[in-house]
Structure formats: structure tokens, C-alpha cells
A and B are shown apart, each in its own frame.
Chain A
Amino acid sequence: MSAGSALADPSWPSPGRWRPAAPLWLLLPALVLLPLLALLPGLSHGGGWSLVGRFALAALRPSLDPLVLASVLRGLGVTVGLALLGWAVSLALGLALGVLSARVVWGGSRSGGGGAWPAELIRKLLALPRSIHELLWGLLLLQLVGLQPAVAVLAIAIPFAALVARVVSDQLDALPTGRLEALRAAGVAAPAALLTALGPPLLPQVLSYGGYRLECALRSATLLGVFGLGGLGTELRLTLQSLAFEELWTGLWALLAAMLLLERLVGWLRRRWTMPARFGLGSDTGSTGTDRANNGGPARGRSSDVGRRGRELLLAAALLLPVLVVVAWALQVDPGSLLRWQPLPPLPPADWAAVAALPWPTLVGNTLVLTLLAAALAVGTAPLLLLLVRPWPWGQGLVQVLWALGRLWPPPLIALLLLLVLRPGVVTGALALGLHNLGVLGRLLLESAEHSGETREQALLGAGCGPRLALLYGRFSGLARPYLAYGAYRADVILRESVVVGLVGATGLGSQLLEALSAFAYDQLAALMLVYAALTLLGEELSDRLRRRLLSS
């Protein structure tokens, strides 16, 4: 045997070469589990385990009472309808704003400058709606116009439109401009040239992202319901708080079915219309490293497919419009109601001394700790779980169900459930957010792992390597960079989302915000929202940099 032990090796190791390799990066975030596991016993308040047991058992025997079923279906219909409307509005608005905020549309260069100042201005203005979570928009609108179905629609549409706009403008500005310049040089008018040169390569990216946003909209609509804005979420919260677990599970299973159906549909359309997978958002790095020339034209479908996709898209859009009208009519969504503001209670004079006296460092610190904990938990646990269950054929199915439940559950509901056994606080909030996002990240990781590195894994298995190591070396090596890049994006989402677990208390800016909202303390609310928005934008910038660094090279 030539393979001596590492320690017997004379050249072991030279200090300059201590550098973790790609697959290890994937496991490093899981180190956060160690302090979490150490903290948990101290956070447990002893009671409630029997309730958790009852809750788990109830999953197997959801209530089939016709009254419960009818109310669940009604609630689900409202949630899906609100999600669909909010999504459609955000997509239309986002596309328009995205085009307007692309530098290339104003004739500017990719790095800015030129005559592209309107693009820069719109971009800056869109930062605010983007940085505030849909829940906050919802609660603010609720105070302004009262409980209207249109509130939930607009609450989803405002931040989503700004997010779509950002993706659209980033994609547009990243496209090669050669084709556009050629058309313009040939005397083609600007709008036609833009549409012809940039439309086709942009379309698959927009469709792919749009599909993802629809999934997000369903989750958001459920979440808004938890805070009383209508739909199934309201019933989920009420049944959980009244410990009617059987009825709760009726709603959960129905929501799960709707969510999986939607995800399947989006995935099917993505494949049919040859859209890029979500994971490789803006990159082609999800592949095994085999070098494919990608000049920014992501759709490489056969030419016969292109015409088909166009026709099918038109048909889908034509079908969607009447559906939206019917849904809006059935849910009594009245856009006009948003203009009829209700009288606000008399506002006390602003007390800026009280605002300044808020424990800002603690609030910001807790928010950041919560975000980092939740992000590391979500990013680190997904690959770890996949590795754990790899040898067992049923294992993957089991984690898939758990992840589906995780992303289905709005984080505040997970938090409420955790409160049955844990004390409120940052860690409990982080666990709730982490588990929810684990469901989102895990699904993406699994989907990408299925499409990457298969032959390398096979080669390792063929050489006698165990299934877990073959997965780690064979598939995870290529996924490390795009997965962590996606994780960086997710951390940014989690920071924005941290407000939604505010209701478990002491979670930083989120809980303070919700408190200020319900106490009509507008001075505090304004200050908190500003700080929150600034923090979110800073986080977005950092996460962008990290992502670019991970995806370059």
C-alpha cells in the first residue's frame, strides 16, 4: 500500500495551502447548529411538549368536518386569489419600472454615466418600497384605509414590483449591447430596436423569475392572512391559538396541496419554455463546470420552440386576464377603496426624545443576530440533511415533505408553535425564520443537485466510495458557489423578513415596529422604518457583493 497515513507524510502540510475546498464551504454554515443546540435547553420552558405531541399526531387525522372543509376551501380560495392578483399587478408594474430603470434603455453605458440619470433616479426611488416587507406595507395600509381585500393585493404588489424591477433592470444592463447597437446603427427606431435586441434574451429570465415570484406571492398572501388581512392564514392562526390542531391540519394540508401544485406548474412551464433554473439566477454556474460559452443569451432552445413559446405565452396571458378580472370581482377587490382613507385617530405631538431613547444598538444588533442565525441555519442545514439521508431511498422523500411544510408555514406560525416549548426571543425567532427558509433553500438545493454532477457521483460510487461522500465530492463540489451565492441572496431576504417574527417578542427592530404600529406611535414608527430600510439596503449591498464574488472566477 502506497497510501501511508497523513501524519507519516513528510510534506504534510505546508502552511500556505490551508484552504477549505468547495464542498466544505457548503458545510461550514452548519457550524451554527452547535451554539444553537447548546442554547436550546436553556430556552426551553418545560411545558408544552404534550401540546407539540398532540399537534404532530393531529397531522395524521385532520378534521374532515364539512363545515371546517368548506371554510378551509373558502380561505384557500381567497389566499390564492389575493396572491394571483398581487403577483399580476407586481409583474406588470415591475416590468415597466424595470425597463425604465435600466441604463441601457436611456442610452447610458453599463457602468452608468451617459444620459442614464433617469434610470439612476428611478432605481434609487425604488429602493424604499423594496426594502420594506409586504407585511409592513399591509399593516400600514390597513391603518390608512381599513380592512379591504385590496390592501393585501397592494401590500404584495408594492415590494414585489420593486423587486421585479430591480431584477429586470439588472438583467437588461447585463445583456450584451452589440445587437442593440447594430440595430440602432441600421436606423431602427429605439423602441423597436430595444424590443428586438433585448426582448428575446430577457424573456426567459423574466418568466423564470416571475414564476418564482408567484410562489413567493402565495407564501406572502398566507402570511398576510396570519396578521388578519384575509384568507387561510387568518384561520391557521386562529386554530393554532385555540389549539384546534385537527382543524389546523385541514388547512395546512390543503395549503400544501395548493403550493405543491403551483410549484409543479411553474416547474413544468419553466422546462417547457426553456427558462433558466432559479438556482442559477443570472449565472450559468450551476453546471458541473463544463465550460459552456454563455454570452448572455440564456435561451438556447431549438428554433421551432421559440415560436411555440411565443404563441403559448400570448395564449397564457390572454387566459390570465379574464381570470384576474373574475378573481378580483369574486374577492370584491375594489382599487377605488384604496383612495378612501379613513380618519386617523388624533396624533399626539411627536416625542423625539422618546424615539432617541429607544435602545437602538440592541434593536439593530438583535435584528442582525437573528438574521445571521436564521440564514446560517437555513443554508447549513439543507446540505447536511441531504447528506444524512442519502443512503436511504425513503430519506429524500421525507426531507422533501418536511421542507415543503417548512416553506408552507408562515414564520410567525412556526414561531407560535415554537413558543409552546421555547421562551420568546431572538433564538426562537431565528429558529422560526430559519426553518421556513430551510424549506425554500432545501428544495432549490435538491433540484440543483439532481441536475448537476451526476456522472461524477457515479464515478465515485463506482470506485467504492460511500453514497454520502460521493454526493459531497461529486455533486456538492460544483454546487458550492452557486448555492452559497443563493444563500447570500436568501440572507438578504431573511433580513427583510425578520419583521414577521416580531410577534414573538424581543427580536429587534421587528417587534419594536409591530409595537409602534399597534400603539399608533408614528414618530417611533417612522424612525424605525427608516433604520430598518437603511439596514435592508445595506444588507442588500453586502449580499450582492458576496454573491458577485462567489460567482466570479
Chain B
Amino acid sequence: MPPASLLELEDIHVSGRGAPRLQGVSLRLRAGERVALLGPSGAGKSTLLAVANGLLVPDRGQVLWQGAPRARSGRARRRQQARIGTLWQDLRLIEELSVQQNLNAGRLGQWGWPRALLNLLLPLESGACAATLRRLDLDPALLDQPVAALSGGQRQRVALGRLLRQEPALLLADEPLASLDPRLAGELLGLLLEEGRAPRALLLSLHRPDLLSGFDRVVALRRGGVQFDLPVAAVEPGLLAELYAGAAA
């Protein structure tokens, strides 16, 4: 029996100025799958990720989370959102707060007001935060540092740490490697592939066909539609050339 599907997108349409941003996209993600999202700029990768993490409601089509339609509002929706974690290209760390407070920001979906306020006053759940940092090869002594004082690579890891503190079932990442040097990009991708293993799933958009080897599947978008959806082994150079052909036009 195949693993249960975490996220299902059915016939998703999102309109845009001029051309539609997504048209008729269907995609199913199962637990344990690590999927790379490829496509030229403007193909709709970021829009697809925004629909997947729930920040964008499609004009048409259905989004199912663990087999049930997305809750429309309120607590149920927030609970679902909390199960889907996103690593943003610009990280979106809260510069004014410490590393620990940023890590704990991943828990805000579960926490009520008292703890959320206490997090701004005291170091909360230091043990769990230190463990998260160690898992990401960071020194737990960084916990009380302001994130603004960290290096680029450290910030990437703290953002990933916040994501892990959220304990999501599905990891989304929107071109997380775009602005990193090759060494940092390799390290971060390794971490993401590691964390995206079963029972989680990973959907990551990237621009680097040379980095596909660790993924299970490749979904290619072009002009808002799915060009192909294949296991990594079946992705041939010809397909990639076709995907990016005339992309600049």
C-alpha cells in the first residue's frame, strides 16, 4: 500500500495580470517523497508553493491536506498551516530578536499568548532549541545572539531551525539555494534532503538541474502548467533542454 498522500493539488488555476500564473496544475505529494520543482523564471514555481503553504487561495481547483479539503478559516486552518513549513529565500528572520526567540517563533502556531509573550521576555525551551542548533551543526552558544549578528550561512541554518521547531509534516522551500555559494548551497541542500525524509515530505524549487540527484521526483513547470512529473532517474538532458528552451523569450 503506498504511503498516504499529504498534499494534493487538483486542477489549480491562479489568474495573473495578462497570462494566468497557474493553469490546471495537479500534484500529489506523499510522505517520504522529496520533490524538486524545476522551471524557468516566471513558470509559476513560487505561486505553486504559495498555494501549497496556504498563503494563496487558488481561483479554481481543490487543495486537499491529508485527504481532506483545506479548512477555510479559524483554528482548524491554523493547525493545518502549522503542519506545513516554508523555508523562504529571503529567510524572513526577525532581525530584532535573538536566535532562540527566532527558533521559538516556529512554535507560535501551537503556543497561546502567554507563552508567546514570555518568549519575548525569557529564554524558553532552551533544551529543545539547543538540540535544534546541534542538529544543524551550529553552536548552542549562539542561542542568545541577535540573528542580525550572524553570518549568512548561520542565518540560513537558523531559518531552517525555526522550520524544524515548527515540526511540520511537509517542508516547502522556495529557491533556498539561489543566493548561496556552492559550498553553502551543497550543505543546505544536504540538510533539507535529510530533514525531508519519511515521515516528512519535501517540495523544493530550484534552478540547478545539476543538484537533482538526492531527490525522488522532479516536477517541471512551464508557463503555469506541469511540463513533466517524473522520477529523477527518468529525467533526461533532452527534457531539461526542452524545459528551459526559449525561456528568455
Decide if A and B are genuine partners: yes
| Residues of A near any B CB (own CB < 8 A) | 1-4, 6, 9-14, 17-24, 288-290, 455-456, 458-466, 468-470, 472-474, 477-478, 480-481
Known: A459-B88, A465-B105. 10 other contacts (CB 8 A): A4-B128, A12-B124, A17-B122, A20-B120, A22-B96, A288-B95, A459-B92, A472-B116, A473-B108, A477-B96
Is A462 a contact of B94 with CB atoms below 8 Å? no
| A24 in contact with B121 (CB, 8 Å) | yes
Chain B residues near A459: list those with CB within 8 A.
Answer: 86, 88, 92
Are A9 and B127 interface neighbours, CB within 8 A? yes
Contacts of A3 in B (CB 8 A): 107, 110, 125, 128, 165, 167
Q: Indicate which residue in B96, B98, B122, B148 contacts A13 across the interface (CB closer than 8 Å).
A: B122
B94 near A473 with CB under 8 A, answer yes
Instruction: Select which of A11, A456, A462 is within 8 A of B127 by beta carbon.
Output: A11
Question: Given contacts A4-B127, A13-B123, is CB(A460)–CB(B107) below 8 Å?
Answer: no
- Which one of B83, B85, B126 lies within 8 Å of A9 (CB-CB)? B126
**Quick check: B107 and A18 within 8 Å, CB to CB?**
no
Closest to A457 in B: B92
Interface check B24, CB cutoff 8 A: no
Residues from chain B with a CB closer than 8 A to the CB of A477 are 94-97
B109 A464 Cβ-Cβ under 8 A: yes
Task: List the B residue with the shortest CB-CB distance to A479.
Answer: B96
- Which partner residue on chain A sits nearest B55 by CB separation? A462
CB distance from B62 to the nearest CB of A (A): 19
B93, B109, B165: which contacts A465 (Cβ < 8 A)?
B109
Given known A463-B106, A464-B79, contact A455–B92 (CB-CB < 8 A): yes
Query: A10-B127, A14-B123 are contacts. A21–B81 as well, Cβ < 8 Å?
Result: no
Tell me the smallest distance from the CB of B97 to a CB of chain A, in Å.
Answer: 5
In the assembled complex, how far is the CB of residue A472 from the closest CB belonging to chain B, in whole angstroms?
7
A463 contact from B81, B95, B126, Cβ within 8 A: B81
A521 to chain B, nearest CB (A): 52
Is there contact, CB below 8 Å, between A463 and B122?
A: no
B55, A461: Cβ atoms closer than 8 Å: yes
Question: Which of A4, A11, A17, A474 interacts with B94 by CB under 8 Å?
Answer: A474
Q: Return A481 CB to nearest CB of chain B, in Å.
A: 8
Kindly report which residue of chain A lies nearest to residue B87, judged by CB atoms.
A459
User: Which residues does chain A contribute within 8 Å of B96, judged by CB atoms?
Assistant: 21-23, 289, 477-478, 480-481
Distance A478 CA – B113 CA, assembled complex (angstroms)? 20
Minimal beta-carbon separation of A220 from chain B (angstroms): 36
B: residues with CB less than 8 A from A are: 53-55, 78-86, 88, 90, 92-98, 101, 105-110, 113, 115-118, 120-128, 130-132, 144, 148, 165-168
Closest Cβ–Cβ distance, residue A300 to chain B (whole Å): 20
Give CA–CA (A24, B94) in the complex, Å.
14
Interchain CA distance A112-B127 in the complex, whole Å: 53
Query: Across the interface, which residues of A come within 8 angstroms of B79, CB to CB?
Result: 464
**Closest chain A residue, CB of each to CB of B119:** A21
Q: Enumerate chain A residues within 8 angstroms of B106, measured Cβ to Cβ.
A: 463
Q: How far is the CA of A465 from the CA of B128 in the complex (A)?
A: 19
Contact at B92–A289, with CB atoms within 8 Å? no
- Contact assessment for A21 and B108 in the assembled complex, using a CB-CB cutoff below 8 Å: no
Tell whether, in the assembled complex, residue A12 and residue B167 are in contact, meaning their CB atoms are under 8 Å apart. Answer: no
Residues of A within 8 A of B115 (CB): 6
A480 to B132, CA, bound (A): 28
Q: Return chain B residues, CB-CB under 8 Å to A12.
A: 122-126
Query: With A13-B123, A461-B81, A463-B108 known to touch, is A21 a contact of B86 (CB < 8 Å)?
Result: no
Q: Please report the C-alpha to C-alpha distance between residue A469 and residue B107 in the assembled complex, in whole angstroms.
A: 11
CB <8 Å contact, B123 and A462: no
Given contacts A21-B101, A455-B90, A473-B94, contact A2 B128 (CB under 8 A): yes
Say whether B121 contacts A20, CB under 8 Å: yes
Complex CA gap A19/B144 in Å reads 11
Q: Bound complex: CA of A490 vs CA of B101, how far in Å?
A: 30
Report the 9 A-B pairs with minimum CB-CB distance, sorted nearest first: A464-B82, A464-B109, A289-B95, A464-B81, A459-B92, A22-B96, A11-B126, A465-B108, A21-B120
Q: How many angstroms between the C-alpha atoms of A465 and B166 in the bound complex?
A: 10
Contact, CB under 8 Å: B97 / A21: yes
Set A6, A22, A463, A468: member contacting B124, Cβ < 8 A: A6
B72 to chain A: closest CB distance in Å? Answer: 14
Contacts of B110 in A (CB 8 A): 3, 464
Closest Cβ of chain A to B119, distance in Å, is: 8
Partner of B123, one of A11, A22, A473: A11
A12-B126, A459-B88, A460-B105 are contacts. A23–B120 as well, Cβ < 8 Å? yes
Q: Which residues from chain B contact A18 at a C-beta distance below 8 Å?
A: 121-122
Sample (29) of A-B pairs whose CB atoms are under 8 Å apart: A1-B167, A2-B128, A2-B131, A2-B167, A3-B107, A3-B128, A3-B167, A4-B125, A4-B127, A6-B122, A9-B124, A18-B121, A19-B121, A22-B96, A22-B97, A24-B121, A289-B148, A290-B95, A456-B92, A456-B93, A456-B94, A462-B53, A463-B105, A463-B109, A464-B83, A464-B108, A464-B110, A465-B108, A478-B94
Asked if A462 and B81 make an inter-chain contact with CB atoms under 8 angstroms apart, the answer reads yes
Q: How far is the CB of A458 from chain B (nearest CB, A)?
A: 6
How far apart are the CA atoms of A480 and B96 in the complex, in Å?
Answer: 9
Residues of A within 8 A of B88 (CB): 455, 459
- Is B122 a contact of A473 with CB atoms below 8 Å? no
> How far apart are the CA atoms of A459 and B97 in the complex, in Å?
15
Residues from chain A with a CB closer than 8 A to the CB of B107 are 3
Residues of A contacting B93 in the complex (Cβ-Cβ under 8 angstroms): 456
Find out whether the CB atom of A464 lies under 8 angstroms from the CB atom of B80.
Answer: yes
Distance (whole angstroms) from the CB of B128 to the closest CB of chain A? 5
Q: Once bound together, how far apart are the Cα atoms of A474 and B96, in whole Å?
A: 10
| Nearest residue, chain A, Cβ from B79 | A464
- A12–B79 Cα gap in the complex (Å)? 27
Closest Cβ of chain A to B109, distance in Å, is 3
* A-chain residues with CB within 8 Å of residue B132 when the two chains form the complex: 2
Q: Is the CB of B94 within 8 A of A6?
A: no
| Shortest distance between the CB of B74 and any CB in chain A (Å) | 10
Bound form: Cα–Cα A500–B107 in Å: 48
Docked complex Cα distance between A13 and B131 (Å): 16
Minimum Cβ distance to chain A for residue B185 (Å): 21
Smallest beta-carbon distance B216→chain A, Å: 24
Chain B nearest CB, measured from A312 CB (Å): 29
A290 CB contacts on chain B under 8 angstroms: 95
Give the nearest-CB partner of B107 in chain A.
A3
**Separation of A18 and B119 alpha carbons in the complex (Å):** 11
In whole angstroms, what is the CA distance A21 to B118 when docked?
A: 10
Least distance between B80 CB and chain A CB atoms (Å):
7
A529 to B148, CA, bound (A): 47
